[in-house]
């Protein structure tokens, strides 16, 4: 059986692990700590697929009815 990547499905928005600098700029923009970001569990299938680790921040680019594309950030937790 051929293996399908979760990320290829049209319902799954783009997920990417972002680097420290970008995390810092996001946190600074909203003046928050990592804990105040929305969370996502490490066992989430998409997180497993992209291989993020606990403590990472994932940028999700969702299609939006109102804005075209809307970025979301989520903090990976256990």
# chain residues binding another protein, by CB under 8 A: 20
Distance CA 37, CA 30 (A): 10
73 binds another protein (CB under 8 A): yes
Exposure of 25 in the CB half-sphere (CA atoms within 13 A)? 5
User: Could you give the 3-state DSSP secondary structure of residue 50?
Assistant: helix
What residues from 36 to 55 belong to the interface with another protein (CB under 8 A)?
A: 36-39
Q: How far is the CB of 31 from another protein (least distance, A)?
A: 8
- Which residues form the interface with another protein (CB under 8 A)? 29-32, 35-39, 62, 64-67, 70-73, 77-78
């Amino acid at each position: 059986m051929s293996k399908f990547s979760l990320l290829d499905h049209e319902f799954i928005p783009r997920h990417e692990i972002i680097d420290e600098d970008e995390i810092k700029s996001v946190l600074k923009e909203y003046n928050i700590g990592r804990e105040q970001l929305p969370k996502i569990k490490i066992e989430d299938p998409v997180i497993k697929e992209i291989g993020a680790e606990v403590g990472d921040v994932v940028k999700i680019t969702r299609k939006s009815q109102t804005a075209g594309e809307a970025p979301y950030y989520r903090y990976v937790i256990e």
